[in-house]
A and B are shown apart, each in its own frame.
Chain A
Amino acid sequence: MRSFSYQRASDPQAALQALAVTAAATTPLTEASSQPLAGGTTLIDLMKLDVMRPERLVDINPLAGNWAQVDLDGGNLKLGALAHMSQVAGHAEVRQNYPVIADSLKLAASPQLRNMATLGGNVLQRTRCSYFRDVSYAECNKRNPGSGCAAMDGFNRMHAVLGTSHQCIATYPGDFAQALIALDAAIEITSKSGPRSMSFAEFHRAPGDTPAIETVLAPGELISGFAIDGRWPRSVYLKVRDRQSYEFALASAAVALDLQNGVINDARLALGGVATVPWRAREAEAVLKGQKLDDALAERAADAAFADARGRQHNAFKIALGKRVVAHALKKAIAMEI
């Protein structure tokens, strides 16, 4: 960890002002010299490991007064970016109307981390790739563009099989983002030029040729919240991992279904633990729509979800595992008593 300056922002304008940087427009957000500090559960970790080296931290926790709400208003859900994971996971109405959100949060991290970590920070959580997190490995295109990828032919059991590129196979590690993707959430962003809103599905960027750029968020911008239209009581988050708690997914699925007389009217499916970004499985959704779920259809949907998957030495098992998780999650969602 390198020395840095610390500043508390009293209001959004002050935060944006403090975060405004002179860096070139091409600087990845994660390399910006000023970084917002919310729960700090990722940022401080990575600073201790010398992976992130900001010169200035802008503490945005004082903005929680405006940005930590959990509102179910007129059949829609609004979540503030500074709401804590534990606060939303334990919210009775969220649990009832959006079980996929409550479970994705409850099944992540540990109670201590969920009490600290915020929703905005959660979706910005960076990969757990061991080679990315250890600066003694010279090769990492995400950390050091153009240096290569040590994971590609290294120990890659936890790495992605979907959305990979020749530059990077690092897995997006979070859970909550899959729920947001499945529910077609919008993300609200504030900058000096004012607020904007966009589809959360467009927020993360697959690594492609520029794995250092992980989201469309620009330096000087802040996430203020998330919005979800409608209620999704028939939704589940299924997470498979090596141990029962406090562990990242080997494969996970967020499923939201609109069922009418046993027929799938609308299906939303997002995958975690297997992809470089929160992954919307649109091909699988297309297979499901207008159908009644049986074992064969679940299997077809799962196959469609992983049609483009590409495994490597240690992570190839995630393709078969991911398919089983999708099929099982669909059956769980169908079986829910609403």
Chain B
Amino acid sequence: MSTAAPEPKANMGQPIPRYDAVAKVTGRAEYAADVPLANPAYAYLVTSAIAKGRVDSFDLDEARRVRGVIDIITHENMVKLKDAKLFSNGGYMSTTVQPLKSADIAHDGQIIAVVLAESFEAARDAAHRVKVSYSTMPPTASFDSQGTTAAGAKGQLAQFKEDPEVGDFAKGFDSAEVKVSAEYETPTQHHNPMELFATSCAWNGDQLTIYEPSQYVYGLKNGVAEQLGVDADKVRVINAYVGGAFGSKGSVTPRTAIIASLARRLNRPVKLVATRDQGFTIATYRAETRHQVKLGAGRDGKLLALRHDGHEISSRPDPYAVGGTKTTTRLYACPNVASMVSIVRADRNTPGFMRSPPEVPYLFALESAMDELAIELNMDPIELRRINDTTTEPIKGKPYTSRSLMACFDEAAKAFDWSKRNPTPRSMSDGDWLIGYGCATTCYPTQMAPAAARVRLQRDGRVRVQIAGHEIGNGAYTVIAQAAAERLGVPIENVSVMIGDSDLPPAPVAGGSNSTASTCSAVMKVCDQVRQRLLKAVMPEEGVINRAKETVGVGRTPVTDAAHGDQALDREKAFDALGVGVVEEYGEWKPEGAPLDSFHAMYAGHARLIGGPEFGDKIAYAFGAEFVEVRINRNTREIRVPRLVGAFACGHIMNPRTARSQLMGGLIWGMSSALLEATEIDPRNARYVNDNLADYLVPVNADVPSVEVILLSEQDDQVNPAGVKGLGELGNVGTNAAVCNAIFHATGQRIRKLPVRLEKLEI
């Protein structure tokens, strides 16, 4: 595997090393739990051992006797917090279950007590000595358990707006010559970021500072303020780095307001680092899903009918669903489409977004079904995609702003040596190993949200950019620095970036792959404001200013061909003309078509994401093609993946190095999701069994000997000023299906239920 950063192609930025690389590899990067606090008390959570019922009583005597214990908080002595709405229903919260509010227990691992002590060790020791008596009711664990209730997602979940349909599916399916009808299942999965769910809260008078890894500091600040009933302007969230999140740190979990209220009560800082297994139940997860897909096509491979019905598990109180039919119904040209998403309630914690929330389970189903259709048609699966490729989505006939799907297939197929594939299943082998090649489409909606930024330029060319973005491993520091350096025409070393602090100008949630597009568009806009002020000082004529605004960088010659005749701005002269030391500008940016209340919502911690299928009269997606080689040992049935190849087209690539890293991680996770990852639920008690990293398997280096990421050059001027189509979630969407398609090719066996474990193979 090549480790060099890729060479930039047309419409790509430079592959500069990560802004935060040295800090991270030397351990200097300060994560939330690393921040030193003055005389903190340590919190340790006690969580329920049952999924449904109530706490009858606590026996706290032995726990209280542990030296160093300060207090033990249960529903009996907890201050009342205000109820807050679910993130996906217009609020902030990951769940509407409010622990410690009453004796009731709504799910496994619910917080039922908090031990406060002078040390982490004392708090943990005491927590282990808390004895709880429960009244247990039989819980509903999942789809096949007794007591589930199901209903359509539409109408009960604000974020789920439509069950897309067009034409007459039944008629189209009936008339189709070739049909596929199949059911698919994906398991419960947990994000398991390396960094645990930590929260430190410190009050200074009526000012609260929260140190917590978050993908949305403005959401966290406003959500906690709402729960505590305090002014949001008096709450500050700080997290310079987030040690992985993948969606789990996007919404506000109940722990934060609990810790904040205990810090207020104790009048000293309180620090919590929840354990790995607690992380499975005090935050969100990817719920298990079931799908029925029906495809009807002519002998020529053209789709005539497509139906996709999805069922998703959610908790009793909260109607969460990812609802990926908005994508799967629009991916290919098809005149007759129907779909329906249903939510099935069980006694579980509320699920939430997890990297590529809707597309991962829903494209697994569709892209597996497409492979099955290709088999039925005796057609190359790439050709089937080509025949059904489209420049307009079929539901409303809106044009894609750009779509390089087939170019991605062609590039990836070439790199993968797809032409060497014998299409007959079970036809390729190497010694004891059966070999299978598989591929699938990947796509992800291009989304943006309003953002604001403050940019300061000094006379000496140094720049400071402030924006409450989030470094979740996505390269936020780096691409924001690049956007400012390019726009202001200064060396990248001149730019310092401050993010991860809710006292900075607001940025949206680092989710839905909107971060780079939103933050860079805002930063670029504010950089332009800086340039205009300087230009006005030295070029007072309006016409010149407008021309210069388009073409002239600060302190270097213009970059575009059209601008060759223009003069570069002399920065020092402009500063002297203005008679100031620094030029600082604050500005807000919102995407085209953003709702009127976007800026207001932005400050209140509500991200109004625009894009994907809901982008005015257009539709915006990033695309890719993913190829997998699997090897299955005839003797032992071990499944290995020696090669992953993906080609992706995502508009302007800010930084090929960080982009490649994101996509590589996505490919690896996709393989992991297909073969390894599943949270096992004990159906008798609705509890997670393998709630640790020894039993919840993720790949190790030996599992991924070769991953190749190909970045295609693509230009899209319609999506946003940065021309960026987010790619953070693109990498792991198609991989599940590509792995199963490769397994079919290797063995002739179609696996429709993830993960694929060796006992499922019947070779």
Chain A residues with CB under 8 Å of chain B are 1-3, 50, 110, 128, 130-131, 133-138, 150, 153-155, 157-158, 238, 240-247, 250, 317, 321, 324-325, 327-328
Residue of B nearest to A315 (CB): B759
Residue of A nearest to B48 (CB): A136
**Residue pair B697, A242 in contact (C-beta under 8 Å):** yes
The verdict on B637 contacting chain A, using a C-beta distance below 8 Å, is: yes
What is the minimal beta-carbon distance from A1 to any residue of chain B, in angstroms?
6
B4 close to A (CB within 8 Å): no
Nearest-neighbor residue (CB-CB) of A325 within chain B: B636
With contact pairs A1-B128, A128-B694 given, residues A244 and B640 touching in the complex (Cβ less than 8 Å): yes
Which residues of B (132-156) have their CB < 8 Å from a CB of A?
Answer: none
Q: Which residues of chain B are near A325, meaning CB under 8 Å?
A: 635-636
Q: Are A242 and B757 in contact (CB under 8 A)?
A: yes
- Residue pair A321, B759 in contact (C-beta under 8 Å): yes
For A324, list chain B residues within 8 Å (CB). Answer: 635-637
Q: Let me know if B758 and A250 touch, CB within 8 A.
A: yes
Specify which of B49, B277, B691, B700 is in contact with A244 (CB 8 Å cutoff).
B700
Given contacts A1-B125, A3-B125, A128-B694, contact A245 B635 (CB under 8 A): no
Q: Are B759 and A1 in contact (CB under 8 A)?
A: no
B699 interface hit (Cβ, 8 Å): yes
Q: Which residues of A contact B676 (CB under 8 A)?
A: 242-243
- Give the residues in chain A near B699, CB-CB below 8 Å: 243
Chain A residues with CB below 8 A from B692, complex form:
133
| A-chain residues with CB within 8 Å of residue B637 when the two chains form the complex | 240, 321, 324
Q: How many angstroms from the CA of A150 to the CA of B122 in the assembled complex?
A: 30
* Subset of 23 A-B contacts with CB under 8 Å: A1-B125, A2-B128, A3-B67, A3-B121, A3-B122, A110-B700, A131-B689, A136-B49, A155-B690, A157-B680, A158-B695, A238-B636, A240-B636, A240-B637, A240-B758, A241-B638, A243-B676, A245-B700, A245-B701, A245-B702, A250-B758, A324-B637, A328-B635
Binding site for A on B (CB under 8 A): 47, 49, 66-67, 121-122, 124-125, 128-129, 277, 635-638, 640, 675-676, 680-682, 684, 689-692, 694-695, 697, 699-703, 757-759
- Closest Cβ–Cβ distance, residue A183 to chain B (whole Å): 23
- Bound together, the chains give a CA A47 to CA B697 distance in angstroms of 23
Most buried by B among A136, A245, A325: A136
B45 to chain A, nearest CB (A): 12
A110 (CB) vs chain B CBs: closest residue:
B700
Q: Which residues of chain A are near B47, meaning CB under 8 Å?
A: 136
Most buried by A among B125, B635, B675, B681: B635
Among A135, A138, A153, A321, contact of B684 (Cβ-Cβ < 8 Å): A153
Among A155, A158, A324, max chain B CB count under 10 A is at A155
* A155 adjacent to B680 (CB under 8 Å): yes
Residue in A131, A154, A155, A244 whose CB lies within 8 Å of B703 = A244
Task: Assess whether A1 is in contact with B703, with CB atoms less than 8 Å apart.
Answer: no
Bound complex: CA A157 to CA B697 (Å): 14
A317 to B757, CA, bound (A): 11
Chain A's closest residue to B761 (CB) is A317
Is the beta-carbon distance between A245 and B680 smaller than 8 angstroms? Answer: no
The complex places the Cα of A131 from the Cα of B689 at a distance, in Å, of 8
Contact B697 A243 (CB under 8 A): yes
Q: How far is the CA of A153 from the CA of B690 in the complex (A)?
A: 15
Question: Which residues of A are found within 8 Å of B690, using beta-carbon distances?
Answer: 130, 155
Contact pick for B689, options A110, A154, A327, CB 8 Å = A154
Given contacts A243-B700, A245-B701, A245-B703, contact A1 B124 (CB under 8 A): yes
Q: Are B636 and A50 in contact (CB under 8 A)?
A: no
| Cβ A1 vs Cβ B121 within 8 A | yes
B128 A50 Cβ-Cβ under 8 A: yes
Please give me the residue from chain A that is nearest to B680 by CB atom. A155
Q: How far is the CA of A150 from the CA of B689 in the complex (A)?
A: 11
Residue of B nearest to A316 (CB): B759
